[in-house]
Structure 1
Amino acid sequence: MAAKPSKDGDFLKHLEAYLAKRDGVDKLLKISRYASKFIISSSLLPHAHPLTRRLKSFESSVGLSRKAFRLGKFIQDVNALRSVAREKNQSRQFLLLSLLAYGGEGIYYFVEQIVWLSKSGLIDARHARELQKVSAWAEFVGYIGSITLKVGDLKELDEKLKCLNSSVEIADVRDENCEEEREKLKVLRLKMMMKKMSILQDFADGLMALADIRDGKGKIFTPFVLSCAGLLSALISTHKNWVSY
């Protein structure tokens, strides 16, 4: 993935700002983890190869590290729900979908903290499996709400794009200056592209959550398919975070 330089053209300063955020480090860890899974599942290396065993150990360690990075992250979903609740004139459908999206994700992040404490050995690991199942269900429900909300946003952006396109076409016919409208058009198209990428990421993450719910049972839930889904999600989320800094 080609890295986009910072606004002042200093790539290293942009990278420093990116790595200063926990989401930035988390996404790089996510790429490392699913790249390792991809190499292992694609049989690029023999099963008994020493590097294969090392990659499995590395992947497991990175997975546990990512759980630690999410400590307290559920608070952002609590605040998102508070923000939605304060907004007036919202439809019941929007409120319900927001509850599914932010509530599901918030429960997922909260339970993941307990799973991390369990896997790190601080608390009894007897209920780790049940907790992971709860975590997967909450994550899956969150993605259903998130995808539905984003599809609605995409429809609104598409309507705005059509209106703006019409204005630019009329201005072109009249030979009028419409540089401001053209700039808005570029911004709107970029927003639509990012929204589509975000929906694709949610589908990929949702597939992995569903695999956890079904304990990997199902023809589609092969290690190779899931590693590809994870790597795709990691690259998209890394790109989104990179351009936002």
Structure 2
Amino acid sequence: MEPDPSNLTSSLIKPNPNPPTKPINNRDFLTHLESYLAKRDGIDKLLKITRYASKIILSSNTIPTTHPFHQRLKTFESNVGLSRKAFRLGKFIQDVNAFRSAQLKSPRDIIFATLAYGGEGLYYFVEQIVWLTKSGLIGLSPAHARTMQLVSAWAELIGYLGSISFKIRDLKNLKKDEECLVTGIEIRVLRGDGVDVENDKLKKLREKMRLKWLSLVQDVADGLMAVADVRDGKGRLSGPLLMASAGMVSAVISTHKNWLSC
């Protein structure tokens, strides 16, 4: 009896239960860029780079103040700063959820979490009012508007202090994990055992430490700008060029982190 060709074909062509997937890291650049720009933080960080690039040009006196383009660039920088505030609408909710889901194992962790998430959440909440005031929807007197900006600056500074404390703690724990992994690899090498799995773990751990260090540098740069806002731009570490440079460092690091995560 001749076999049925249709049955033969169906028996030879079987769907792969585990079809190969294309790694995210190998995505086309434009596809990756589309995914990045689809996120609120993606647009916000690009605006941040644009704003602080403008600030660096303005504060470095590259363009004379009498030149017409100087005033246009100054207006552009101010409008970009106002536009960025619109991207923070409702962003305080992420800090509320982060605080709810945080694993707080000690009183110190509770203090750090309250400072980090509470300060940043309050900052994002007040920034909504500041944006509505500057956009003309809410009519606040100059004195009340200045008070809101001061509350926002203090909340931001407190949030960065808590975040920096968290990251220093995390880096210490990661350093201990690294030392344990290195010791384990050395022991396995002496025994003649394979260390491929351990080397992969060590590589991932060190990449995590690198990103954590970058986040710490970003928080320090943002914290420096928050201090300048609290002091109303007065003091030795509040120069316009220094603040613009700190903002650019923060913008580049945050853009890099968001690019890797999307």
Asked if Structure 1 and Structure 2 have the same fold, meaning a TM-score greater than 0.5 normalized by the shorter chain, the answer is yes
Q: Which residue in the other structure is 1:222 paired with?
A: 239
C-alpha distance in structure 1 between counterparts of 2:24 and 2:232, whole Å? 42
More relative contact order, 1 or 2 (CA 8 Å, 6+ apart): 1
Q: Distance in 2 between matches of 1:216 and 1:183?
A: 47
Q: Single out whichever of 229-238 and 169-178 deviates more from structure 2.
A: 169-178
Q: Which residue number in structure 2 is paired with residue 160 of structure 1?
A: 177
Q: Which residue of the partner structure matches residue 208 of structure 1?
A: 225
Q: Distance in 2 between matches of 1:133 and 1:175?
A: 62
Aligned to 1:46: 64
TM-score, normalised with respect to structure 2: 0.88
Give the whole-Å Cα distance in 2 for the aligned partners of 1:46 and 1:38: 13
Q: What is the number of residues matched between the two proteins?
A: 238
* Structure 2 residue 205 is the aligned partner of structure 1 residue 188: yes
Q: Deviations over 1:122-165 (max 9, x none)?
A: 01131211100000000000000000011000000000001101
Q: Which runs of 5+ in 2 are unaligned?
A: 1-22
CA–CA separation in structure 1 for the residues paired with 2:44 and 2:129 = 18
Per-residue CA distance 1:16-64 (angstroms, 9 max, x = gap): 1100000000000000000000011111121222222111111100000
Q: Which ranges in structure 1 are unaligned for 5 or more consecutive residues? A: none
- Structure 1 contact 201–233 (Cα < 8 Å) conserved: yes
Deviations 1:175-204 (A, max 9, x none): 321111101111000110110110110010
Q: 2:186 aligns with which of 169, 179, 187?
A: 169
Percent pairwise identity: 61
Matched, 1:199 2:212: no
**C-alpha distance in 1 between matches for 2:207 and 2:67:** 44
Task: Identify which of 92, 105, 117 aligns with 2:120.
Answer: 105
CA distance in 2: counterparts of 1:7 and 1:229, whole angstroms: 29
Partner residue, 1:90 = 105
* TM-score of the pair, normalised by structure 1: 0.94
- Which runs of structure 1 show a deviation greater than 6 angstroms over 4 or more consecutive aligned residues? none
User: Alpha-carbon deviation of 1:6?
Assistant: 4.5
Alpha-carbon RMSD = 1.3
